[in-house]
Structures are given as structure tokens and as C-alpha cells.
Amino acid sequence: MGQEQALAREEEPNPLLSLLRISSHLAGQVEIKSALRAVKAEIENLLPIDHLDVCLIDDEVQWNTSYEVGLHTRWSLRRTSVHISPVRSILYGETDYMLTGNAMEDPRYMFPGAISEPILRHQLRSRINVAMKVLGRTIGALNCSSNKPDHYSEADVERMRHVADVLAPYFYSLRANEQAKQAAITRAEAQAREEGLRQGALELTRALEQERQRIGMDLHDQTLADLTRIMRDLERAETVQERAAISNRLQDCIQDLRQIIDTAVPTLLQMFGFVHALRIHLERAVGDEGEVEIAVHDETHGLIDRLDATTRIALFRIAQEAINNAARHSGGDRIEVLVAPHGKGLKLSIRDNGVPRFEDIKAAGGLSHMRTRARLIDAAFNIHTDTGTSVEVVLAKSAPSSRPARQDA
């Protein structure tokens, strides 16, 4: 170091006074980044720096989290593996400090795979890195850099050691507090998800009970009443023509009964598979009114029919509800169902080119039921209304059923 630099250092504030000020600045700080920002100016009184950061390791010495002030580099974007850190020798406890006059050419920082891009991009030539220890165990590293080459000395390393000794216990406590806070947030989110799922299950149970009641009323008010009238008419019938007419009415009654049964239990799904059953439901939903183009495609080669019964029926019910809404409310002339691969799972899409819906109460209730069914099978549920309406259910994993599926409504 030149004579001018030595004279400049003699004019610097007393290092002990700076350390006391650093301690006072830490008081009341509750976050690591704000604490580092609070002491930056005092550290700059001890030696000139162009970049200052602290990196802390986890208890297993596998991951490293960096906190920076001033410059913001990729070091602090996300936690990284310790073995690719430019200061891994310190983090692994192999050395207590590193000093270099040009880190851009120093193999300790520029080894293969190292995250050294910030050093090159910001020309962080001179560097001091010292271990931060608590009870003799390394918890991280305090790092300062300068753009000037050969700018630091062993005396500067000693100054940074004292700073690191002051910062280490405080930053260790702040990190423990952050970890506890994050753990509490994670627990609260898990509890909220469980409560939401419980409420969703209750809501779906109520909806199913209402559906059972509706089916019972349909059987009582429609089918049984029709059968009663047919029996009375049959007793009065005297001619072949009258009996033939009654026979036709009986066939209609049987067809109505089959439709009610198909609504309650997806027998078509069990007998013919997902795509065929959904195509039949789509044809029934569209009916003879208007010209609506329909299509059902399976690009998974029948993967959806190899899912467990609960998952397959939930997807079928969601598709039924989406198709019903499209047929009744969209006013479009095309409804398409697509089952496609999605990562290790699959995606079910029901699309129409009509007017976006779900504004009215009935459709909103159907939306809630679809969303709840998706949550109960751990599937993502989304609706897009850019052009018409697209209902999408994404199943992250599609583990096949290991035994024949039991079909429950």
C-alpha cells in the first residue's frame, strides 16, 4: 500500500468507536437486509468498499442465502448451493478468510461452475471475505469488494474480522427469527388450506344431498306419477291401438328413468370409458335445438380411464357441469372437450366460443362445485374468458389405478 493510502488510513475514525457505532445501529433492527443497510456507512469508515454483502448458510451447510446493499446482483436473487459459492472455502470451514487483489483472475473465485458472474460484471477485483462465527461454528461470511486492484491489506482483513465478530451473533438471531416467522406462515397457510378443503367438502356434501333430494323428487313427481297413469290407462284400454299408445308412453317413461339413473351414477363412464360417456352427455346437453358443433378428443391414449375411480369420476362431474353451463348459457355454436398430456399428469379442457358466463347465481354455484371437486383430487382449476369460456383442470400426477375402479356418485 502506498504512502498516501497509509496517511489516509491514519485519519480514519477510531476502529473501536466504529465498532461501537455498528453495535448501536443494530439495535432495533428486525430484518437482515435492513440491519446490513444500517451498518454499511460505519463499515465504509473502516475501509472503502464498492460492494458489501453477507451470506448465511443453513444448518446442513448445503444452501447459502445472500443479502446485499448498494449493488444488487444474482447472488441475492435466490438461495444457492454452497458448493458453487465463490466463498465456499469459508462456508465449509476450510479457512477463516480470503484476501485477493484481483478476484477476476483468482482461481479460488473463478472455479468451474462457480456463481462468479457478479464479480466479472461489476469488476469486483479486490475482495475481503471473513468467516462469521457463533460459538466457534461458521454461520456465513462477511464480504466486501472494491473495483480497484490490490486495494486491501492484511490490516484491512483484521478490521473486517472485528466487524464480523460484532455482526455474527446478531445476524444469526435475525436469521433464526426469519426462519421461525416463515415456519409460522407455512403452518398458517397449511391450516388455511385444510380449513378451506374441509369447508369445500362440506359444501360439496350439501350439494350432493340436494342432488339426491332432486333425484328423489324426479322419481316421485315424474316417473312414478307417469307409471301410475299408465297402469290406470292400461286397465281401461280395450283396443290394440290404445295398448300400442300406452306401450309407447311406457318406453318414454323407461327412457326418463334411465336418464335419471345416468345422472345419479355414471354407468356410461363405467361401461364405455371417459371419452365416449362424455360425448353422449355432450350430445344430450346440446339436444336438437340449434346447430352446435361438438368434439371430444383424448390425446393421452386412454390414460384418463386408468386413473383411480375417485379422480376419474370427479373429472367427469366437472366436465358434466362445464358442458351443461356451456350448452345452457354460452349461446355459442361450438363446444369442445380435450384431454391432453401435461407433464406427468394430464389437462382436461372444456371450451366454447360463446359469451363468457358465471355471472349469474346458478352458474356461479356450479363454478364453486367444480372448483371444490378439483381441490378434493388435488388438481388445479382455472377459467379463461378471452374468447368464449375455457374451463381447465390440471392433474399434476396421473397415477393409474391398481385395481378395477368402484364407481361412486
Query: In this predicted model, which residue has the larger pLDDT, 251 or 209?
Result: 251
Can you tell me the mean pLDDT for 145-158? 94
Domains and CATH numbers, the chain: 3-186 (3.30.450.40), 266-409 (3.30.565.10)
Tens of pLDDT along 361-397?
Answer: 445 557 887 888 888 888 999 998 888 899 999 998 7
Q: Among 75-84, 269-278, 291-300, whose mean pLDDT is lowest?
A: 269-278
Tens of pLDDT along 152-179?
Answer: 999 999 999 989 988 888 888 888 877 7
pLDDT band at 92 (very low <50, low <70, confident <90, very high): very high
pLDDT band at 284 (very low <50, low <70, confident <90, very high): confident
| Contact assessment for residue 93 and residue 128, using Cβ atoms and an 8 Å cutoff | no
| Contact assessment for residue 43 and residue 144, using Cβ atoms and an 8 Å cutoff | yes
Q: Give Cα separations from 333 to 282, 329, 352 (angstroms).
A: 13, 12, 8
pLDDT band at 217 (very low <50, low <70, confident <90, very high): low
pLDDT at 121 over 90: yes
Q: What percent of the chain has pLDDT over 90?
A: 32
Q: Return d(Cα 204, Cα 361) in angstroms, integer.
A: 16
Tens of pLDDT along 7-25?
Answer: 444 455 566 777 778 877 7
Q: What is the pLDDT of residue 215?
A: 61
Q: Euclidean distance between the first and final Cα of the chain, in Å?
A: 83
- Pairing relationship of beta strands 293-298 and 334-342 according to DSSP bridges: parallel
Residue with C-alpha cell 356434501? 205
Q: Return d(Cα 257, Cα 222) in angstroms, integer.
A: 9
pLDDT band at 405 (very low <50, low <70, confident <90, very high): very low
